[in-house]
Amino acid sequence: GDKKATAGESEPPTKKQKTGKRAKGGTIGKSMKAAELKEEAVARGIDVKEWKHMNKEALLEMLVVGSRCIIKSEAWDEVVSLRKIFADERQKAAEMEEQRREEIFR
């Protein structure tokens, strides 16, 4: 059923309120969006061919509701941030390599 808090039953403000931010160290849940579930499938290294055409229900079944969620972990934040750093470095290296080649063939 619907468990809406009525006046006087709400949690005291000292407890952390749920915001739009993902809770760290969470689990797979039915409230997750299909896009998040697909991101989780990528994080788990599941081949895109396996889940590309899956709907949310099938994704939830594959990933298992209640199992730990990689994308909600501190480690995943670090991976995402490292990927960005590496992509930027790769871009700079490619530009430098291109300059070096142009100088050789002048």
Two tokens, residue 25: 């160290």
Short-list 46, 31, 41, 47, CA closest to 69: 41
CB 1 within 8 A of CB 33: no
In this prediction, residues 27-53 reach a mean pLDDT of 95
CB 67 within 8 A of CB 27: yes
Query: Letter for the amino acid at 48?
Result: V
pLDDT at 18: 45
Single pTM value for the model: 0.61
User: Distance between CA 102 and CA 19 in Å, rounded?
Assistant: 51
In this prediction, residues 11-30 reach a mean pLDDT of 60
Short-list 78, 77, 65, CA closest to 23: 77
Answer yes or no: is pLDDT of 19 > 50. Answer: no
